[in-house]
């Protein structure tokens, strides 16, 4: 089996939101594939993690859900970003940027090193 | 905001779960199919594509589970699961569940019942403005006159206090009396209160309709205020809450009066257990109690005085400020003609009278104080029962947790979280407590009803509600739940802290739990034994008291065949001569019945707690020497024969002993021996009052054997009897009828006889004299019955507790016992080994219980009769009872220990 990482808890929501922002309404499978692709197939999204995360976002009102028809003619749930979700994405993206920047500083060689 | 939205969403997840499950399945299936299709497109065989997709997507069932967890409100869902689990576990050990639930139910139920009544009778504050400022005022010492009711004062003294007491913003008075009301043709008896004009103002109570009394309108003219204020409940019950009642004319004691208002809803007066139905200005007293006009008489005490304290005074300083005023009043009273010429000794005693006060924030209860004391004692006892019950449940829970230690360790080992296990254990305790509490509620309803039947009736307790008090129930249930949770949690915590490996590995030790839990259970059992001793000893004291009182010779013969009833024609407007004639008619009519052996009437009902006492002048005994007080009664001829009391000397009263004829009296043996020693009292003279200027004018014509007066507790009094027609106070009369057949069948016949003479005449309190005695002993009966019930309950609970602990100890020591047997220990020795431990616990419990029981006995000593608090017999009987019960409880596990098969025990893992 390939050495794929399970997606980290907490970051999945952000990935879902970003995916929906870029791709527009999408069904669960589509979201999972898109995340895997974007990660360069380094991440594996199992539905045991994906669907509870989607439900949480629906419950919080960040995304909405509608039944639609998938490209293989099956009934499928389509998820779309809501206005609240957009705002949440902006916030979290900014926070994420800050967090990574801070973490990065710890690992970047600096003039005050030891 | 987001959290709330999410929560609401999750709540909705509780419903329609099946449809949502189907949708999820569909969604996941779609996901899988798309993955398979993509895999095929990427060049896999369908077989491979499916396998790869399943691997990639992860476990289907886990996904569903995770999704469902997220869907519903998590806490609620797991709680429900724990609840189901708890019910399953509890139903699997029905004996444990039954004992625990019953213990809690009995404890909570009995407590709620007792506290509900006590709260209403003693503890609750009056529903009036600033009840904490209210104070009751009365005086002690010789009156040199007559007294009626407890804590009574004369009306002029009330007026003095009202006008001159500096510490009070209001001083008001009341007099409780039954009245009869006529509306149209109907006459009915109601409870009434004569009140001073400022009564309502002082209490801060307004009208619900019309007006209430005011000092300006209703307290000015002697006999001049024919106004009635109805109580709210009476207005609703009798007049259907009809506003047209205002201005309506009604006859009160045959005197025309007008309804002027209805007092506010929720106001019941200053007596929490005896609430009047109507109130009348006190200036109407002469018209309301015919033939006794006491308003201006300083030598007759009958009103009860209450007052509202001004700011800046304490109870003590207010009381102190009254004493100089009282002294002044008394000095002035001594100058009055009525007291001129009294002896120096009486004068000094009179001037030494003291004023007393007491907070009336809770009102003044007309139930004898003995009721509240008995109630407090019962309250302590029942609280102890609740404690024992809680200890039992605690002990059971500890044992259960100890027994489950291995199971818990196993569950921990295979991956349950400590939190989850803890939650489940707590849930089990909570279920026990809640079910126990609910059953306690049901029980308390039944018990309050039962208790109310023990209390004296005659319209007195109309205001006591029979519903259990919710606050008290809540408190008791909270206590039960608290104990259960605490003791459910503690062992659970302990069990979860243990080293898994050791517990799983451990063999015999796991049966009984660790040493700590055993020690805890042993102390609980010791406490239970101590408490039980307390209750059993208390119960014995009360039972002995009741028996002593019941067995006391009343002096009356066959009191179960003696019917008593009362009529009060004066209240129906009978004049004095007509009234006396009417009594005679009733007597003749009743005597004409073939079943009636004899009949008579008396002024004061015996064995009912009522009394009248006077000071006497006695020929040959200077008044200053000694106390000449004696208890009096007025009798018709034939009284002694009816009551079955032997006439020792002289003669009974005759029909010719009426007013205008020479005054005569009969005395009892105690009176005669007190004043005349061995000499015959016949022919001696006595006189009412202690004033020397009058010559004793009443000749003693008879001597009778002693009999009881107020009741057994008061014992035999010094008594003087007068012919009823020669008394000047023809008030309510009690008839006594001795029958030859079953008394209970005669009630209707007698009623019809009296009705035949006057159809509107109310007859009340018809019963046998034995019933009367039982009623008088109501407190004692209540205390005895309840304390026995509590004692038995406590002993039973303690026995269960002791059995549990001993069984546990034996289980823990099975291997050791087996070893001892293998080494040659005899059965008897092993039996004794276990019993010794049980008796050790019992001994410590008794050592703690005996001093506590002594203190309790001291507290209730005023309630006891013919038995002292430190009664050795009682202590011995209680100890023996408990020892026997404890031995019984310990014998079962002890026998089990002595019959252990050594081979089995040693092999046991």
**pLDDT band for position B444 (50/70/90)?**
confident
Contact flag A61-B5 (C-beta cutoff 8 Å): yes
Nearest CA in chain B to A85: B2
What is the rounded distance in angstroms from the CA atom of residue B538 to the CA atom of residue B376?
13
Give the side-chain half-sphere CA count within 13 A for B716.
17
Question: In whole angstroms, what is the distance from residue B397 CA to residue B425 CA?
Answer: 10
Q: Cα separations (Å) of B255 from B572, B578, B583, B728?
A: 9, 17, 22, 22
H or E element at residue B477: helix B470-497
Between residues 67 and 106 of chain A, which touch chain B (CB distance below 8 Å)? 70, 72, 74-77
Report the candidate in B740, B739, B746, B777 with the shortest Cα–Cα distance to residue B763. Answer: B746
pLDDT higher than 60, residue B818:
yes
* Residue B326 confidence (pLDDT) above 50: yes
CA distance B862 to B786: 18
Contacts of B5 in chain A (CB under 8 A): 59-61
| Token pair in block for residue B720 | 């003087």
At residue B409, the pLDDT reads 76
Residues B120 and B780: their CA atoms lie apart, in Å, by 20
pLDDT for B665 beyond 90: yes
Could you tell me the sign of the dihedral formed by the alpha carbons of B203, B206, B211, B214, in that order? positive
CA distance B733 to B724: 10
Question: Which of B24, B34, B35 is the closest to A70 by Cβ?
Answer: B34
The dihedral region occupied by B149, where left means phi > 0, alpha psi between -120 and 50, and beta the remainder, is left
For B667-700, write each residue's pLDDT tens digit. 999 999 988 888 889 999 888 765 555 678 889 9
pLDDT per residue over B9-21, tens digit each?
Answer: 666 665 666 777 7
**Are B70 and A55 within 8 A, CB to CB?**
yes
CA dist B457 and B765 (Å) reads 10
Q: Which residues pair with A77 in a beta bridge?
A: A67
Residues of B whose CB is below 8 A from A75 = 26, 30
- CA distances from residue B398 to B492, B518, B522, B746 in whole angstroms, order as listed: 8, 8, 11, 62
**Taking CA atoms, what residue in B is nearest to A45?**
B57
Q: What is the average per-residue pLDDT within A34-57?
A: 83
Rg over CA atoms, chain A: 17
Q: Which residues of A touch B60 (CB under 8 A)?
A: 47
Averaged pLDDT score across all residues of chain A = 82
At residue B226, the pLDDT reads 92
* pLDDT the model gives residue B509: 44
Determine contact, residues B237/B463, Cβ cutoff 8 Å. no
**What's the CA gap between B550 and B293, in Å, rounded?**
39
A96 belongs to a structural domain: yes
Helix or strand run (H / E) with residue A47: helix A47-60
Is the separation of the CB atoms in B135 and B318 below 8 Å? yes
- Chain B residues whose beta carbon lies within 8 Å of the beta carbon of residue A52: 66-67, 69-70
CA distance B521 to B468: 33
Which is more confidently placed, B595 or B142?
B595
Is A29 in contact with B30 (Cβ distance < 8 A)?
Answer: yes
Q: Calculate the average pLDDT of chain B.
A: 81
In this structure, the strands spanning B613-618 and B629-635 are: antiparallel
pLDDT band at A2 (very low <50, low <70, confident <90, very high): very low
Tokens linked to B552: 């006391």
Q: What Å distances lie between residue B551 and B376, B544, B555, B718, B787, CA to CA?
A: 26, 10, 11, 21, 20
Structure tokens at B72: 């519903």
- A52·B67 Cβ contact <8 A: yes
Interface of B with A (CB under 8 A): 2, 5-6, 9-10, 23-24, 26-28, 30-31, 33-35, 37-38, 55-60, 62-63, 66-67, 69-71
* DSSP letter for each residue of A60-86: HTSEEEEEEE-TTS-EEEEEEE-HHHH
Please list every residue in chain A whose beta carbon sits closer than 8 Å to the beta carbon of residue B53. none
Q: Based on the structure, what is the number of domains in chain A? A: 1
User: Given an 8 Å threshold on Cβ–Cβ distance, is A76 in contact with B62?
Assistant: no
Please give the pLDDT value at position B460: 44
Query: Residue B324's pLDDT band (boundaries 50, 70, 90)?
Result: very high
The verdict on A48 touching B (C-beta cutoff 8 Å) is: yes
Its domain, for residue A77, covers: 5-107
Closest CA to B393 of B791, B804, B93, B92: B804
Q: Does A55 touch chain B (CB under 8 A)?
A: yes
Alpha carbon distance B416, B81 (integer Å): 15
Which of A29, A43, A77, A92 to probe by mutation at the B interface, max B CB count within 10 Å? Answer: A29
Strands, DSSP E only, in B611-749?
613-618, 629-635, 647-650, 664-668, 685-688, 698-704, 719-723, 733-739
Does B24 sit within 8 Å of A48, measured CB to CB? no
User: Of B101-115, B202-216, B656-670, B855-869, which gets the smallest average pLDDT?
Assistant: B855-869
Contacts of B259 (CB under 8 A, 6+ apart): B210, B227, B228, B229, B230, B245, B246, B247, B248, B250
pLDDT in tens, B524-550: 888 888 888 888 888 888 888 888 887
The C-alpha atoms of residue B111 and residue B836 are separated, in whole angstroms, by 35
* pLDDT of the residue at B76: 67
Report the residue of A55, A56, A69, A73 to disrupt the B interface, i.e. the one with the largest count of B CBs within 10 Å: A55
- Which tens digit of pLDDT belongs to each residue from B380-424? 888 888 888 888 888 877 777 777 777 777 777 777 777 777 778
pLDDT, residue B174, reads 93
SS3 at position B194: strand
Work out the average pLDDT over A54-72: 84
Q: Is pLDDT at B159 greater than 60 in this prediction?
A: yes
CA–CA distance, B498 with B418 (Å, rounded to integer): 11
Residues of A in contact with B40 (CB under 8 A): none
* Cα-Cα-Cα-Cα dihedral sign, residues B282, B283, B286, B288: negative
Residue A33 contacts B where some CB pair is shorter than 8 Å: yes
**For residue A112, is it within any domain?**
no
Q: To probe the interface with A, which of B24, B30, B73 has the most A CB atoms within 10 Å?
A: B30
Place of tokens 């967890």: B69
Burial pattern B705-720, b for ≥16 Cβ within 10 A else e, equals: ebbbbbbbbeebbbbb
Question: Could you tell me the pLDDT band of residue B123, with boundaries at 50, 70 and 90?
Answer: low
Whether pLDDT at B758 is above 90: no
Strand stretches in B336-427, DSSP E: 355-359
A49 touches chain B (CB under 8 A): yes
In-domain check, residue A13: yes
Instruction: State which residue of chain A sits closest to B11, comparing Cα positions.
Output: A59
A73 falls within a domain:
yes
Alpha helices in B282-314 (DSSP H): 285-288
* Helix, coil or strand: residue B309: strand
pLDDT at B481 over 50: yes
Distance between B69 CA and the closest CA of chain A, angstroms: 8
Flag whether pLDDT at A29 surpasses 60: yes
Terminal-to-terminal C-alpha distance of chain A: 42
Residues 6+ apart with CB under 8 A from B605: B564, B566, B734, B765, B772
Instruction: Answer yes or no: is pLDDT of B874 > 70.
Output: yes
**Highest mean pLDDT pick, B178-187, B249-258, B283-292, B866-875:** B249-258
What pLDDT is attached to residue B732? Answer: 65
Predicted confidence (pLDDT) at residue B792 exceeds the cutoff of 60: yes
Mean pLDDT, to the nearest integer, of B602-613?
81
Residue B443 has pLDDT above 90, yes or no: no
Which residues in chain A touch residue B57, judged by CB atoms under 8 angstroms apart? 46-47
In a domain, A42, yes or no: yes
Q: Which member of A1, A33, A51 has the closest CB to residue B63?
A: A51
> Measuring CA to CA, how many Å separate B94 from each of B87, B90, B98?
11, 7, 6
Tell me which of A56-65, B326-335, B477-486, B844-853 is least confident.
B477-486
Judged by average pLDDT, the poorest of A2-6, B208-212, B271-275 is A2-6
Where is average pLDDT lowest: B277-286, B464-473, B703-712, B850-859?
A: B464-473
Cα-based angle B491, B492, B495 (whole degrees, multiple of 5): 85
What would the mean pLDDT of A78-103 be, rounded to a whole number? 88
pLDDT reading at B561 higher than 60: yes
pLDDT confidence tier of residue B510, bands split at 50, 70 and 90: very low
Cα separations in angstroms, B826 against B788, B806, B831, B833, B895: 41, 20, 9, 11, 12
Q: What is the ipTM of this complex?
A: 0.82
What average pLDDT does range B108-112 have in this prediction?
82
Check which CATH number belongs to the domain holding A21 and give it: 1.10.10.10
- A55–B71 C-beta distance less than 8 A: yes
* pLDDT above 90 for A60: no
């Amino acid at each position: 089996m390939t050495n794929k990482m399970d997606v980290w808890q907490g970051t999945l929501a952000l990935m879902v939101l970003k995916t929906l922002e870029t791709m527009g309404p999408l069904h669960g499978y589509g979201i999972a594939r898109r995340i895997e692709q974007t990660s360069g197939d380094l991440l594996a999204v199992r539905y045991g993690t994906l669907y509870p995360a989607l439900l949480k976002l629906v419950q919080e009102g960040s995304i909405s859900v509608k039944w639609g028809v998938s490209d293989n003619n099956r009934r499928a749930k389509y998820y779309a970003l809501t206005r609240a979700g957009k705002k949440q994405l902006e916030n979290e993206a900014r926070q994420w940027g800050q967090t990574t920047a801070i973490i990065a500083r710890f690992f970047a060689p600096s003039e005050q090193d030891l | 905001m987001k959290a709330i939205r999410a929560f609401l969403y999750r709540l909705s997840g509780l419903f329609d779960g099946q449809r949502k499950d189907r949708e999820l399945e569909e969604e996941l299936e779609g996901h899988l199919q798309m993955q398979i299709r993509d895999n095929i497109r990427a060049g896999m065989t369908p077989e491979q594509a499916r396998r790869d997709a399943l691997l990639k997507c992860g476990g289907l069932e886990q996904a569903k589970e995770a999704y469902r967890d997220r869907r519903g409100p998590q806490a609620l869902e797991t709680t429900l699961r724990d609840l189901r689990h708890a019910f399953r576990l509890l139903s699997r050990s029905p004996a444990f569940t039954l004992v625990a639930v019953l213990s809690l139910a009995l404890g909570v139920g009995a407590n709620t019942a007792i506290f509900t009544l006590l709260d209403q009778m003693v503890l609750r504050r009056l529903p009036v403005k600033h009840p904490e400022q209210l104070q009751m005022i009365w005086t002690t010492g010789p009156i040199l006159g007559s007294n009626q009711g407890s804590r009574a004062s004369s009306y002029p003294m009330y007026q003095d206090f009202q006008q001159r007491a500096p510490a009070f913003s209001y001083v008001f008075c009341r007099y409780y009396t039954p009245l009869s009301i006529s509306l149209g043709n109907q006459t009915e008896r109601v409870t009434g209160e004569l009140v001073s004009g400022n009564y309502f103002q002082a209490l801060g109570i307004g009208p619900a309709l019309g007006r209430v009394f005011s000092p300006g309108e209703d307290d000015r003219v002697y006999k001049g205020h024919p106004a009635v204020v109805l109580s709210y409940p009476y207005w609703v019950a009798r007049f259907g809450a009809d506003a047209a009642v205002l201005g309506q004319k009604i006859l009160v004691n045959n005197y025309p009066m007008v309804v002027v208002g209805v007092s506010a809803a929720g106001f019941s007066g200053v007596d929490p257990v005896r609430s009047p139905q109507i109130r009348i200005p006190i200036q109407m007293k002469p018209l309301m109690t015919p033939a006794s006009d006491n308003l201006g008489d300083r030598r007759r005490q009958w009103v009860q005085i209450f007052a509202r304290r001004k700011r800046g005074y304490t109870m003590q300083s207010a009381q102190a400020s009254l004493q100089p005023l009282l002294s002044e009043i008394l000095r002035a009273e001594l100058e009055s003609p009525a007291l001129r010429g009294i002896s120096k000794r009486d004068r000094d005693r009179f001037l030494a009278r003291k004023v007393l006060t007491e907070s009336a924030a809770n009102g003044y209860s007309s139930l004898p104080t003995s009721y509240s004391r008995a109630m407090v004692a019962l309250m302590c006892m029942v609280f102890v029962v609740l404690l024992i019950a809680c200890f039992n449940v605690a002990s059971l829970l500890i044992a259960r947790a100890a027994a489950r230690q291995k199971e818990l360790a196993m569950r921990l080992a295979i991956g349950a979280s400590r939190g989850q296990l803890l939650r489940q254990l707590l849930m089990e305790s909570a279920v026990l407590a809640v079910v126990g509490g609910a059953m306690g509620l049901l029980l308390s309803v039944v018990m309050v009803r039962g208790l109310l039947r023990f209390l004296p009736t005659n319209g007195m307790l109309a205001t006591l509600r029979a519903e259990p008090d919710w606050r008290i129930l809540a408190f008791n249930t909270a206590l039960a739940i608290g104990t259960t949770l605490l003791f459910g949690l503690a062992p659970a915590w302990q069990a979860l802290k243990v080293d898994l490996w050791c517990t799983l590995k451990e063999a015999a030790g796991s049966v009984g739990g660790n040493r700590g839990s055993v020690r805890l259970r042993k102390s609980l059992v010791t406490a239970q034994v101590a408490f039980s001793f307390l209750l059993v000893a208390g119960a014995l004291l009360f039972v002995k008291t009741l028996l002593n009182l019941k067995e006391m010779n009343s002096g009356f013969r066959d009191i179960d065949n003696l019917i008593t009833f009362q009529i009060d024609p004066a209240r129906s407007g009978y004049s004095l001569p007509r009234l006396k004639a009417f009594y005679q008619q009733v007597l003749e009519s009743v005597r004409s019945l073939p079943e009636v052996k004899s009949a008579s009437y008396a002024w004061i009902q015996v064995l009912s707690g009522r009394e009248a006492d006077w000071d006497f002048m006695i020929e040959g005994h200077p008044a200053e020497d000694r106390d000449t007080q004696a208890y009096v009664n007025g009798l018709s001829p034939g009284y002694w024969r009816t009551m079955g009391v032997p006439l020792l000397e002289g003669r009974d009263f005759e029909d010719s002993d009426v007013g205008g004829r020479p005054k005569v009296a009969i005395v009892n043996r105690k009176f005669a021996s007190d004043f005349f020693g061995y000499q015959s009292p016949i022919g001696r003279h006595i006189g009412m009052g202690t004033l020397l200027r009058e010559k004793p004018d009443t000749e003693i014509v008879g001597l009778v054997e002693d009999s009881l007066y107020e009741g057994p507790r008061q014992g035999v009094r010094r008594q003087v009897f007068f012919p009823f027609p020669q008394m000047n106070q023809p008030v309510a009369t009690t008839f006594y009828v001795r029958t030859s057949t079953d008394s209970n069948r005669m009630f209707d016949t007698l009623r019809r006889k009296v009705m035949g003479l006057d159809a509107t005449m109310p007859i009340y309190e018809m019963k046998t004299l034995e019933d009367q005695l039982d009623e008088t002993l109501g407190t004692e009966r209540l205390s005895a019955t309840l304390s026995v019930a509590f004692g038995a309950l406590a002993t039973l609970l303690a026995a269960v507790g002791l059995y549990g602990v001993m069984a546990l100890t034996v289980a823990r020591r099975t291997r050791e016992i087996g070893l001892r047997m293998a080494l040659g220990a005899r059965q008897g020795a092993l039996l004794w080994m276990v019993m010794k431990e049980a008796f050790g616990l019992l001994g410590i419990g008794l050592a703690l219980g005996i001093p506590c029981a002594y203190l309790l006995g001291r507290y209730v000593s005023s309630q006891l009769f013919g038995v002292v608090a430190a009664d050795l017999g009682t202590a011995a009987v209680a100890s023996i009872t408990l020892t026997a019960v404890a031995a019984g409880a310990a014998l079962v596990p002890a026998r089990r220990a002595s019959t252990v098969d050594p081979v089995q025990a040693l092999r046991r893992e």
